[in-house]
């Protein structure tokens, strides 16, 4: 048995490079792929933050305009309405309405079974 084991060890080729000193790397293509994915993710994050900020600012401005309209309405509708100078009422800009949904077609007739 020992002879067979020593013959097997002698028959196996010894590695020419020490595995402990071998450096494994994905290379330039792997680096570029990871860099492109990271740059794309960062770009998407910046775009999302910009869009969310824009929506939030629009909501703040709209609420301020509503508060100003309500305040102007209180000033003109109070006891001193005869003394108060007429305030030009702002006509709110019409928001584009969502397109109406088309009517759904009737469902197909059920098949007759014998």
R_g (Cα) of the chain, nearest Å:
38
User: pLDDT, tens digit, for every residue of 39-57?
Assistant: 999 999 999 999 999 999 9
- Predicted pLDDT of residue 9: 65
Cα 32 from chain centre: 24
Q: Can you tell me the distance from the alpha carbon of 94 to that of 30, in angstroms, rounded to the nearest whole number?
A: 53
pTM of the complete model beyond 0.95: no
| Length of the chain counted residue by residue | 114
User: pLDDT, tens digit, for every residue of 68-113?
Assistant: 988 888 887 654 544 545 555 565 566 666 667 778 888 888 888 8
């Amino acid at each position: 048995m020992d002879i067979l084991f020593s013959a097997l060890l002698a028959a196996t080729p010894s590695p020419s490079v020490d595995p402990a000193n071998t450096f494994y790397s994905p290379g330039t293509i792997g680096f570029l792929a990871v860099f492109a994915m990271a740059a794309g993710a960062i770009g998407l994050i910046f775009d999302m933050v910009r869009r969310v900020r824009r929506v939030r600012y629009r909501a703040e401005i709209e609420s301020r305009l509503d508060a100003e309209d309500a305040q102007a309405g209180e000033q003109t509708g109070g006891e001193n309405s005869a003394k108060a100078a007429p305030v030009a009422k702002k006509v709110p800009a019409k928001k584009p309405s969502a397109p109406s949904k088309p009517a759904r077609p009737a469902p197909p007739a059920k098949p007759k079974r014998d």
